[in-house]
Structure 1
Amino acid sequence: MADTVFRFPAPGSDPITADLDGWKKIEGNPTMKTWIQHTSADGSVISGTWEATPGTYHATYGSYEFVHLIDGQITITPDGGTSVTMTPGCAFTVEPGFAGTWKIEKPVKKHFCIKLK
């Protein structure tokens, strides 16, 4: 039987450093690091840790994401919508079909869980 509880280890020394699919730099020169630390047995969900430096991305989402912000500050603005600022301790979701900006105002570290299928 597969393990049914998984504790994240500390992020490793080999993150993914490419910008996420659907994310385009539009202000500054932000960088990101992604550690996929767990994949569900059926491959439909990934979770891990993500870090980013200040700057702004325009992001388009094809999947559902749950986020718990550990460090930093982000102002998220849906295209044509109202901005919301997230600070450490905030937990939030982003629905598939979201399109808008993520302005990373202070270096960010978050845990994420993304439903792929």
Structure 2
Amino acid sequence: MKVQKITQPATIASMEDWGSVEGLPGTGSIGLSGLQKVIPGKEDIDTGIFECGVGSYRRSVKQAEIMHFLNGNGSFTPDGEETIHFKPGDSLFFEANTEGTWVIENTMRKLYVIFDAS
């Protein structure tokens, strides 16, 4: 199938349990879920919907990433740079090897594309 559709991604009630990430001190474990889409012939591109609960954690993705927020709000502080706040409707573009700290104030859901930018 050349075109895959995700109907109303902001309101999908049931997504796959993707486990959890250990939050920064004082946050505890943060639940993760999502819905991954595979592009045939381009399995090295990770795309779909990602959702995480409230808390603060370090970004661990090493590839470049494009994301568009559907729900939630919070911030991302790249190491050594100013904090960037986000809300539904915002999009962020990450260079490869961008490290920093997420602070999720309300459960966040985003559409994402992770890819090798080299």
What's the TM-score, normalizing by structure 2? 0.81
Q: Which runs of 5+ in 1 are unaligned?
A: none
Where does residue 2 of structure 2 map in the other structure? 4
Where does residue 77 of structure 2 map in the other structure? 77
Where does residue 114 of structure 2 map in the other structure? 114
More displaced stretch, 25-34 vs 4-13: 4-13
Where does residue 15 of structure 1 map in the other structure? 16
Letter in 2 for 1:25: G
Q: d(CA) in 2 for partners of 1:61 and 1:50?
A: 13
Root mean square deviation of aligned Cα: 2.1
Where does residue 104 of structure 1 map in the other structure? 104
- Distance change >3 Å, CA 13–CA 71, structure 1 → 2: closer
Stretches of 4+ aligned residues off by more than 3 angstroms = 9-14
What's the TM-score, normalizing by structure 1? 0.81
How far off is 1:74 after superposition?
Answer: 2.1
How far off is 1:84 after superposition?
Answer: 0.4
Letter in 1 for 2:55: G
> Aligned ranges for residues 12-51 of structure 1 at < 5 Å?
13=14, 15-19=16-20, 24-26=22-24, 27-29=26-28, 30-36=30-36, 38-42=37-41, 43-51=43-51
